Structure 1
Amino acid sequence: MSTEIRGATHQPWLTQLRTTLTTEFAAQKTRLTELTADTGDPGDAHTQAAMIAATRQSMAQIEDALRRIDDGSYGSCAKCGTQIPPERLEVLPHARFCVPCQQKQNG
């Protein structure tokens, strides 16, 4: 991966990332549909609710990353504006903050 997120040299990577995130979003949407189906077992309700919340959060993160790709802000820290290291984005493609700003967010 190039160290520059923006720019023409990086476009193929962003196209691949968009495809990967879109596929992941579809998988999460299918999972959410399955999780929200009534199993009839009240003992599973708490676990099911937690899984639904986690799936919805994942979907929101993917949607946000796709929006940032579209508007050209992908790879820039939402707080300080510096470039997020490509290594971080490889591990966490929906990262909105650089590590120092994320640590401040977490308190």
Structure 2
Amino acid sequence: MTQQISAVDNHRLDPAELTVLRARLHEDRLFRRQQLQDIAQGANDPVETTYAADLAAHSEIRHKLTVAAQTALAETEAALARMDAGRYGGCGRCGRTISIQCLTVHPQARYCTPCHHFLETQR
């Protein structure tokens, strides 16, 4: 069941913008789930090599791809949860509204651009 959210609840985003962003997040969720399934199925494919180093490298690559896809899926799920809770589009650090330009490029965004840059410099 999809919860109807008003634009006021989601940092005054236009309802049409929210609809488009929600659809993109749902598409990304489907893509990530399929990606994880494909990676898992590929783990059962025989690797055409007899070298242990090649087998280890393939295993490491699969592991890194899995972690990246799981992380992206978690970010998408979190964005959808924020949207359902009426908190979508608000910066998780300062509370200001994340620009529609930023959300259009990265609908999973948790932070406004200044806070994102600040947090990146702290790493």
TM-score range, shorter chain: 0.7 to 0.9
Aligned residue in 2 for 1:34: 38
> Is structure 2 residue 35 aligned with structure 1 residue 21?
no
Distance in 1 of aligned mates of 2:29 and 2:108 = 12
1:89 to 103, 112, 122: 103
1:65 Cα deviation after fit: 0.8
Greater helix proportion? 1
C-alpha distance after superposition, 1:13-69 (max 9, x if no partner): 212211221121111101101101222332411111111111101101110111111
1:104 Cα deviation after fit: 2.4
1:87 Cα deviation after fit: 1.1
Return the index of the structure with the highest Cα Rg: 2
Distance in 1 of aligned mates of 2:105 and 2:73 = 17
What is the root-mean-square deviation in Å for CA atoms of aligned residues? 1.8
Please list every run of 5 or more consecutive structure 1 residues that lacks an aligned counterpart in the other structure.
none
TM-score (norm 2): 0.75
C-alpha distance after superposition, 1:70-98 (max 9, x if no partner): 11111110111001111111111111011
Please list every run of 5 or more consecutive structure 2 residues that lacks an aligned counterpart in the other structure.
1-7, 48-54
Give the residue type in structure 1 aligned to 2:46: G
Aligned residue in 2 for 1:61: 75
SS at match of 2:14: helix
2:75 and 2:108 in contact (8 A); partners too: yes
Give the fraction of aligned pairs with identical amino acids, expressed as a percent. 27
Distance in 1 of aligned mates of 2:92 and 2:27 = 25
Aligned residue in 2 for 1:10: 14
